[in-house]
Amino acid sequence: MNSRFQPLFEPFTFRSGVTVKNRVLMAPMTNFASHQNGEVSDEELAYYRVRSGGVGAVVTACVYVTLDGKGFYGEFGADTDEMIPSLRRLADTIHAEGAKAILQIYHGGRLSPVDQIPDGTPLSASAVPAEQENAPVPREMTEEDIQRVIAAYGEATRRAIEAGYDGVEIHGANGYLLQQFFSPHANRRDDAWGGTLEKRMAFPLAVVNSVKEAIAKHARRPFILGYRLSPEEGHEPGITFEDTLQLVDRLADQEMDYLHISVNHFFGGSFRDRSQTESRTVLIHEKVGSRVTVIGVGSLDTPEEAVKALETGVPLVALGRPLLMDPEWVQKAENGKEDSIRTTISKQAQEELVIPDVLWGALVNTPGWMPVVD
């Protein structure tokens, strides 16, 4: 191994007591490969198998906690006990390759496609559509809806525990339901769940509490609790970085294992305030890193870039696109073969890279998403 990369391969122990073998995680990525009934497919298991051998932990693609929160075609579920055997198959596959397994739990809210949810009407904090072309107007959640979904996060956590996972990551990023409640764009309520910044935090914090209660009640061994968030929104009104600094301060008080900061570029500054050029991930780490572990992600394509990220003080990094392009990224970095790490995707490499059909079509046909070569 190049000694420069040694920091990537130090073990790390979370607050809960779970230890990962190195500082590199697989980031959660949608793969569109599950069965329509919410069960994991063999195609999906193969995709995870080849990517679980090097990383310290795998954060899975998100699972819906209620069927009305399903966010896309081919998403797998954790909404009923019938899903536990399916969930266990994936946990066992990841564990067999030597990584910890973290299940990302989620509700799509107003971003749930109308053709994927039972009555065709998405739910959200308020009846405000997303700023997307032809976005449907969601139904404002009632108090009963809110309590039902909060409880569902706890139940999904129980199922993850029973299925053998090492933790869960609450998906509060990328415009989905938890972010919708925190966002002044999606949340126009004037009750206990909205109206002020403090009240817009109430739903995400209630979900965290529901998950914590499930862990305390059902886990018989150390169990990771993480939370993923997006630090800003581009539209007006929208979440500002100053809003997020207050949210992470509250989340850091919850005795969680980590915060996972969802940005396109680890070193990127604010897109709302172009004068703020310092990494938002680093700024969050500087504010709360002494109380909660921060995980960085985004455009860390090479081992050199990943080490540079760790040198900021952020203790863990997650890889998304790099592991799509090269499932053996971590092993190559560890074994002195970093020069052979792939940084492009060949249109002829689907079988070799073990990428499911629908995901493959998206990767090679979406301009600008991946560096695709002939």
Chain segment 175-224, per-residue pLDDT in tens: 999 999 999 999 999 999 999 999 999 999 999 999 999 999 999 999 99
Express as a percent the part of the chain with pLDDT over 90.
98
d(CA 324, CA 43): 15
Question: Does residue 161 sit within a domain?
Answer: yes
Per-residue pLDDT tens digits for 226-248? 999 999 999 999 999 999 999 99
Question: Does residue 216 sit within a domain?
Answer: yes
d(CA 71, CA 113): 6
Task: Collect all residues with Cβ–Cβ distance below 8 Å to 115 and sequence separation of at least 6.
Answer: none
**Predicted local distance difference test score (pLDDT) of residue 374:** 87
Question: Does residue 83 sit within a domain?
Answer: yes
Structure tokens at 239: 């979440």
Question: Does residue 231 sit within a domain?
Answer: yes
Domain with residue 109: its CATH number is 3.20.20.70
Question: Does residue 364 sit within a domain?
Answer: no
The dihedral built from the CA positions of residue 343, 346, 347 and 351, taken in this order, carries a sign that is negative
**Residue 19 belongs to what domain range?**
3-343
Question: Does residue 368 sit within a domain?
Answer: no
* Per-residue DSSP letter, 142: P
Question: Does residue 360 sit within a domain?
Answer: no
Alpha-carbon distances of 187 from 122, 180, 184, rounded to whole Å: 14, 6, 5
* Per-residue DSSP letter, 323: H
The per-residue pLDDT of the chain, averaged, comes to 97
Per-residue pLDDT tens digits for 25-68? 999 999 999 999 999 999 999 999 999 999 999 999 999 999 99
Residue 1 has pLDDT above 90, yes or no: no
Structure tokens at 122: 């998405």
Question: Does residue 299 sit within a domain?
Answer: yes
Q: pTM of this prediction?
A: 0.98
For the chain, how many structural domains are there in total?
1
